[in-house]
């Protein structure tokens, strides 16, 4: 569960504590990392040099943006086994009629070229997506990301609902981990699915507390003059360097896509 | 069940973005029109609640664990379109804030958990409720059965998407996804029923479906 807000007891994400004071503009970062993922996913897996270029570009810019690499690695270590696990079913299974297969592990399993390609495709692109999105989230405070997405014409109601949810996630995740600690300190050790009722009661109390909190929050908002629209953070005007970095990075990724495949 | 980048074909990703985007447009438009300003905090806090509840693992078999999805719970509480918005919020924040689920697969993940889990899950609940009767037990049965079905259906749809994209063959992914989730679905059903019974007892005003029945 690393990377989820419950690990951070301060109620702030790493990005908010570590981001460089005058980091790259949020719109530029969204543009850079979104286009890396989209271009990466569209690249045929038979061009390893292009993928090497994408990964190097993401690592280099993450270092430049001072995204904390330790957290970066921790999140990758948590997510990657899952990606590999799903992808690993491919080499042994993707066999079509008439295709030759090679024995693997003493002949108990059969591997095909098409299967290995399917595995490499899913594993490489899955990992690239995790790296790019991790770099984006670690280098961009969430409210700046939302303001950037608003600029890219994401509907205002979606952006304000997200801002609201994100704010209360940390509060409720803390509440949930306190409840877990209380349960575990009383010696609960569920091993089987029919013992899930205990978790049901916990989640039920969490829900009631959340609903009551939402009512208190609503009254507090009303008392501060809430009229149905949430104020959004304004992004500072982009600087020339933001444009240059975005254009240079995009050109690098695009040329890797065009000339290294 | 969060599909990463690269697991599904471009055609399928684009199609899913179109479908999920259209449903989102309808749901958000309706939310903007129908919902009082009070609902913004309610939807936002419910999404935050689903996110937090997904972090509490429940036991499955001999110490392995699964986690809660919450789509049917949200739809029984808030109605199908609001449940879709809640799942859309949870999945978008997980993707952008925590790199959980691929960016190009976001449309598919929203389709699987918002449309299949939330909206279809809600209509399965209504359908079962019509048969099981509106007694206390009939209501609990409908909630539990719809929760189990929502998990098994969403994971099977996910398996079809992975197989259609040529990442892994259907005869491997479908039985493994549906099999594992048939068990996880039991946990989802037990939890959803106990949460809904608790809310029905303490705060019946918070249940969309109870209100709907009182009117019917």
Rounded to the nearest angstrom, the minimum Cα separation between A3 and chain B is 6
Residue A84 has pLDDT above 60, yes or no: yes
Residue B6 has pLDDT above 80, yes or no: yes
Q: Which of A84, A97, A122, A212 to mutate to test the interface with B (most CBs of B within 10 A)?
A: A122
pLDDT at B109: 95
B49: helix, strand or coil: helix
Do residues A214 and B47 make contact, with C-beta atoms less than 8 angstroms apart? no
In chain B, residues with a C-beta closer than 8 Å to the C-beta of A75 are 98-99
Residue A109 has pLDDT above 70, yes or no: no
In chain B, residues with a C-beta closer than 8 Å to the C-beta of A38 are 103-104
In chain B, residues with a C-beta closer than 8 Å to the C-beta of A122 are 4, 6-7, 167
Do residues B16 and B103 make contact, with C-beta atoms less than 8 angstroms apart? no
- State pLDDT tens for residues A171-200: 999 999 999 899 888 888 777 777 778 888
- State pLDDT tens for residues A114-153: 777 888 888 889 889 999 999 999 999 999 999 999 999 9
**Higher pLDDT among residues A11 and B46, named by residue:** B46
CB spacing of A165 vs B90 below 8 angstroms:
yes
Tell me which residue in B55, B63, B197 faces A173 most closely, judged by beta carbons: B55
CB spacing of B169 vs A134 below 8 angstroms:
no
pLDDT bin (cut points 50, 70, 90) of residue B70 is very high
Residue A11 has pLDDT above 70, yes or no: no
Residues 6+ apart with CB under 8 A from A106: none
- State pLDDT tens for residues A49-83: 999 999 999 999 998 888 887 887 887 777 677 66
CB spacing of A206 vs B53 below 8 angstroms:
yes
Residue B25 has pLDDT above 80, yes or no: yes
ipTM above 0.85, yes or no: yes
Domain ranges for chain A:
5-153+235-259, 156-223
CB spacing of A207 vs B61 below 8 angstroms:
no
Average pLDDT value over all residues in chain A: 81
CA distance linking residue B118 with residue A39, whole number of Å = 31
What integer is the mean pLDDT of B174-190? 90
pLDDT at B36: 64
Residue A85 has pLDDT above 80, yes or no: no
CA distance linking residue A221 with residue B41, whole number of Å = 9
Nearest to A202 by CA among B144, B72, B68: B68
Do residues B89 and B160 make contact, with C-beta atoms less than 8 angstroms apart? no
Do residues B82 and B36 make contact, with C-beta atoms less than 8 angstroms apart? no
In chain B, residues 13-72 whose CB comes closer than 8 Å to chain A: 13, 24, 28, 31-32, 37-38, 40-49, 51-53, 55-63, 68
- State pLDDT tens for residues B100-131: 889 999 999 999 999 999 999 999 999 999 99
pLDDT at A99: 58
Do residues B91 and B108 make contact, with C-beta atoms less than 8 angstroms apart? no
Nearest to B93 by CA among A172, A235, A146, A151: A146
Rounded to the nearest angstrom, the minimum Cα separation between B158 and chain A is 12
CB spacing of B99 vs A207 below 8 angstroms:
no
pLDDT bin (cut points 50, 70, 90) of residue A105 is low
The CB-side HSE value for B37 (13 A sphere, CA atoms) comes to 11
Rounded to the nearest angstrom, the minimum Cα separation between A110 and chain B is 14
Residue A21 has pLDDT above 70, yes or no: no
Domain ranges for chain B:
10-215
pLDDT bin (cut points 50, 70, 90) of residue A93 is low
- State pLDDT tens for residues A196-225: 788 888 899 999 998 888 888 888 888 988
A159 touches chain B (CB under 8 A): no
B190 touches chain A (CB under 8 A): yes
pLDDT at A107: 57
pLDDT at A234: 80
CA distance linking residue A40 with residue A34, whole number of Å = 10
- CATH class of this structure's domain B10-215: mainly alpha
Nearest chain B residue to A43 by CA distance is B6
pLDDT at A214: 83
pLDDT at A258: 93
Residue B198 has pLDDT above 70, yes or no: yes
- For residues B50, B51, B52, B58, the Cα torsion angle rounded to the nearest 10 degrees is 80
């Amino acid at each position: 569960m690393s990377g989820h807000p419950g690990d951070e007891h301060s109620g702030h994400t790493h990005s908010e504590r570590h981001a460089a004071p005058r980091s790259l503009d949020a719109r530029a970062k969204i543009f850079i990392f979104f286009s890396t993922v989209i271009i990466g996913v569209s690249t045929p897996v038979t061009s390893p040099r292009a993928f090497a270029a994408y990964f190097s570009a993401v690592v280099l810019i993450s270092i430049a943006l001072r995204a904390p690499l330790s957290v970066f690695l921790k999140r990758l270590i948590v997510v990657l086994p899952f990606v590999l696990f799903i992808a690993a079913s491919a080499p042994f299974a993707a066999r079509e009629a008439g295709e030759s297969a090679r024995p693997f592990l003493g002949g108990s399993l059969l591997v095909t070229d098409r299967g290995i390609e399917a595995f490499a495709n899913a594993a490489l692109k899955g990992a690239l997506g995790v790296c790019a999105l991790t770099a984006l989230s670690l280098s961009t405070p969430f409210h700046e990301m939302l303001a950037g997405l608003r600029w890219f014409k994401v509907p205002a109601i979606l952006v304000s609902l997200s801002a609201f949810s994100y704010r209360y996630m940390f509060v409720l995740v803390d509440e949930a981990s306190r409840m877990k600690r209380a349960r575990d300190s009383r010696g609960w050790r569920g091993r089987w699915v029919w013992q899930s009722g205990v978790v049901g009661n916990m989640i039920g109390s969490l829900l009631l507390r959340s609903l009551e909190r939402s009512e208190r929050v609503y009254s507090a908002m009303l008392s501060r003059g809430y009229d149905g629209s949430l104020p959004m953070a304004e992004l500072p005007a982009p600087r020339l360097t933001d444009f240059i970095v975005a254009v240079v990075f995009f050109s690098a990724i695009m040329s890797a896509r065009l000339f290294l495949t | 069940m969060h599909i990463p980048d690269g697991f599904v074909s471009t055609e399928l990703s684009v199609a899913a973005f179109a479908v999920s985007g259209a449903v989102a447009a309808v749901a958000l438009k309706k939310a903007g029109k129908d919902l009082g300003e009070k609902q913004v905090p309610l939807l936002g806090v419910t999404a935050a609640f689903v996110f937090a509840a997904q972090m509490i693992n429940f036991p499955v078999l001999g110490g392995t664990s699964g986690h809660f999805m919450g789509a049917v719970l949200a739809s029984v509480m808030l109605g199908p379109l609001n449940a879709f918005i809640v799942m859309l919020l949870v999945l978008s924040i997980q993707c952008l804030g925590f790199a959980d689920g691929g960016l190009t697969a976001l449309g598919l993940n929203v389709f699987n958990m918002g449309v299949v889990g939330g909206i279809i899950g809600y209509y399965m609940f209504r359908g079962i409720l019509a048969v099981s009767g509106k007694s206390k037990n009939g209501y609990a049965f409908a909630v539990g059965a719809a929760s189990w079905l929502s998990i098994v259906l969403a994971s099977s749809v996910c398996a079809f998407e992975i197989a259609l994209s040529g990442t892994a063959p259907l005869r491997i992914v479908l039985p493994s996804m549906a099999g594992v989730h048939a068990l996880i679905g039991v946990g989802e059903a037990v939890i959803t029923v106990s949460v809904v019974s608790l809310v029905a007892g303490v705060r019946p005003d918070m249940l969309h479906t109870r209100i709907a029945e009182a009117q019917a």
